[in-house]
Amino acid sequence: MERLHFTCPNTGEIVDVGIESELNTLLRIRHKRVLARCPACDERHQWQVAEAHLQKAA
């Protein structure tokens, strides 16, 4: 499983929004968007899955 990390547009910090999936699934949905609350600034952002930084889940 891979965890998705995105860059907060307000702070520039890389954040974990709590989404994990298999790599094959992420490749299929890379053009989709994710709406999530950002732990860095507490606002809701919309990111494209292709913008994610992938870090192996622990």
Residue 22 falls inside a structural domain: yes
In terms of residue numbers, what domain contains 11?
Answer: 2-35+44-53
Residue 31 falls inside a structural domain: yes
Residue 17 falls inside a structural domain: yes
Tell me what percent of the residues of the chain surpass a pLDDT of 70. Answer: 95
In the predicted model, what is the mean pLDDT of the chain? Answer: 92
Could you tell me the pLDDT band of residue 57, with boundaries at 50, 70 and 90? low
Percentages (nearest 5) of helix, strand, coil residues in the chain: 15, 50, 35
Q: How far apart are CA 55 and CA 41, in angstroms?
A: 21
Residue 58 falls inside a structural domain: no
Number of folded domains in the chain? Answer: 1
User: What is the identity of the amino acid at 13?
Assistant: E
- pLDDT tens per residue, range 18-45: 998 898 998 999 999 999 999 999 999 9
pTM, to two decimals:
0.84
